[in-house]
Chains A and B, each alone.
Chain A
Amino acid sequence: MPLLAVVALAAGTYAFRLAGPVLRHRLRLPGRLRHLLSVAATVLLIALVATSALTEGHGFAGWARPAGVLVAGILTLRKAPFPLIVVLAAATTAVLRLLGVP
Chain B
Amino acid sequence: MHSLWRTLDRGTLRDIALVCLADAMVGAAFGAIAVSGGLPPWVPVVMSLLVFAGGAQFAAVGVVLSGGAPIAAVAAGLVLNARLLPFGFAIGDVLGGRWWTRLTGAHLMTDEAVAFVLRDGDPRRRHAAFWACGLGLFVSWNAAVVLGALAGRGIGDTDALGLDAAFPAVLLALVLPSLAERNVRNAALRRACVLGALVAVAATPFLPAGLPVLLALIGLVLATRAPAPLPDREVR
Q: A residues touching B (Cβ–Cβ < 8 Å)?
A: 1-10, 12-14, 16-25, 31-32, 34-55, 57-59, 61, 64-65, 68-69, 71-73, 75-77, 79, 81-83, 85-86, 89-95, 97-98
Is A5 touching B201 in the complex (CB atoms < 8 A)? no
Distance of A18 Cα from B159 Cα, bound (Å): 33
Within 8 Å of chain A (Cβ to Cβ): is B7?
A: no
Q: B residues touching A (Cβ–Cβ < 8 Å)?
A: 11, 14-15, 18-19, 22, 39, 43, 46-47, 50-53, 56, 60-61, 64, 70-71, 73-74, 77-78, 81-93, 95, 97, 102-103, 105-107, 109, 111, 114-115, 118, 159-180, 189, 192-193, 196-201, 204-206, 209, 212-214, 216-217, 219-220, 223-224, 228-229, 231
Distance of A66 Cα from B206 Cα, bound (Å): 21
Whole-angstrom distance between the Cβ of A99 and the nearest chain B Cβ:
12
Would A25 and B70 be within 8 Å (CB), given that A39-B223, A44-B216, A47-B216 are in contact? no
A-B contact count (CB 8 A): 282
Whole-angstrom distance between the Cβ of A57 and the nearest chain B Cβ:
8
Is B201 touching A69 in the complex (CB atoms < 8 A)? no
A24 / chain B contacts, CB cutoff of 8 Å: 88-89, 92-93
Q: Which residue of B lies closest to A85 (CB)?
A: B173
Is B168 touching A49 in the complex (CB atoms < 8 A)? yes
A8 / chain B contacts, CB cutoff of 8 Å: 74
Contact partner, A20, options B90, B167, B171, Cβ 8 Å: B90
Is B106 touching A45 in the complex (CB atoms < 8 A)? no
Would A47 and B197 be within 8 Å (CB), given that A9-B77, A76-B177 are in contact? yes
